[in-house]
Structure 1
Amino acid sequence: MPKSLFWVRTDTAGSEHVVLDEPQGLTAHGVALAVDPIPYTCRYRLTLAPDWSTSRLEVDADGAGWSRSVRLERAGDGWRVRTGEEGDLDAALRAAGHPTAGLPGTDDPDRLAEALDVDLGGSPLTNTLPIRRIGLGRLPADLATGVKVAWVLLPSLAVIPAEQVYTSLGPGRVRFAGDGFTADLEVDPEGFVVRYPGLAERVDPR
């Protein structure tokens, strides 16, 4: 049966709702909203292979006067990246006093070649992908495992290669480290994030 997960952002006003199914690997579609750095809505569709490596990610983001899209698809020869853009996100960012975002996607998909996972900015769901793919719950505690990901920034939808480290801290706890940041995540028995300090907390039905 499909399942529904809902997180409330704790770093800013926002939330994420995803509906997912695990027939073989994972398929998911979700919506994320936030007001920082400017108000935006993000819609995404995610497809994972049976080994939980990412096969495809489609993301659409929009706000007042702008919209962007990025499509990532992993094939035998690397990642294919397609983008779209309407309006002017950079103008909206400048008007709000923030740095400009640049273009969506990447100018060199070959830089993503070693990535097996994706990380959608601000989305607790995508932390589950490497946790499940590497079988972190079955590894000894304090054993660090490095992964390479295609990191999709929001709201710009720029895609950059990133190195991250996941470490099991015992049942229900995982340490995440990347880009100079570290957080000890609380996860459920299936590896889905329950609490991400400084980012989000899951709200479960009563």
Structure 2
Amino acid sequence: MPRTLLWQRTDVHGAEHVVFDDRRGLTARGVALAAGPVPYECRYELDTSPGWLTTRFDAVAEGGGWQRKLHMERVDGRWRVTASELGDLTAAGQPNALQPGAEDPDLLVDVLDIDLQNSPLTNTLPLRRLGLITGTVEIVAAWVLLPSLTVIANAQTYTALGPGRVRYASGSFTADLELDEDGYVVRYPGLATR
């Protein structure tokens, strides 16, 4: 039977709920809600291989007067990315919003993981794929910005700090994540808790 997790956002009013099966890789269906930077809802589906290599990610983000869709699929070692937009996110209060999707999918050639912005769930993907128990690993993730659904190749570092604790770093940002026994985030300081 599927399992479920629910995170409460601690930085803005919002939450993330996911229904998932992780017996042979991960199959997940979730929804993320937030009051800012503009109020939005993002529904997503995510699939990985049995080894936790991301194979497919679909998302629909919407708010007052706009909707954006994103489809990402890994085929023959390359990402296929398609996106669309209805309405106008910039007119809805996010004037600097980039277009949905990836301007150049070839920049994602080294990407094995999806990182949905402000989603505690997607931090688990590289941890489970790499079996991080000790040491430090560096990855490049496809960072999916919310609410724009813009996709950017993003360098990230995960450092094991001891049982149930991992330091996440990207650029100058760091956060010490608390994890349960299955590697799912329990507490993401400044972002979310469950």
Q: Matched residue of 1:90: which SS?
A: coil
- Which has the larger helix fraction? 1
Match of 2:31 in 1: 31
The structure 2 residue matched to 1:108, chosen from 80, 104, 107, is: 104
Provide the aligned length of Structure 1 versus Structure 2: 194
Structure 1 distance, partners of 2:10, 2:27, is: 26
Shift of 1:99: 3.7
Alignment match, 1:197 = 189
Query: Which blocks of at least 5 consecutive residues in structure 2 are unaligned?
Result: none
What stretches of structure 1 of length at least 5 have no aligned partner?
Answer: none
In the alignment, does 2:132 pair up with 1:136?
A: yes
Q: Deviations over 1:34-92 (max 9, x none)?
A: 01101000000000001101000000000000000000101114100011110000111
The alignment-based identity, stated in percent, is 57
Mapped to 1, the partners of 2:53 and 2:104 lie a distance apart of 21
DSSP-derived class of the 1:191 partner:
coil
What is the CA distance between 1:22 and its match in structure 2? 1.7
State the alpha-carbon separation in 1 of the partners of residues 87 and 119 from structure 2. Answer: 25
The Cα RMSD (Å) is: 0.9
Pairwise CA distance, 1:193: 0.2
Q: CA deviation at 1:179?
A: 2.9
18-27 or 183-192, larger mean C-alpha shift: 18-27
CA distance in 1, matches of 2:76, 2:154: 20
Q: Secondary structure at the match of 1:89?
A: coil
Deviations 1:13-40 (A, max 9, x none): 0000000002311100000000110100
Q: Following TM superposition, where does structure 1 have runs of at least 4 consecutive aligned residues deviating by more than 6 angstroms?
A: none
Aligned match of 2:72: 72
Write out per-residue CA displacement over residues 117-173 of structure 1, whole angstroms, 9 at most, x where no aligned residue: 000011000000001011013xx3xx2110110000000000000000001111010
TM-score, with normalisation over the residues of structure 2?
A: 0.98
> 2-side partners of 1:175 and 1:126: how far apart?
15
Within the candidate set 122, 128, 150, 1:126 is matched to 122
Amino acid corresponding to residue 174 of structure 1 in structure 2? V
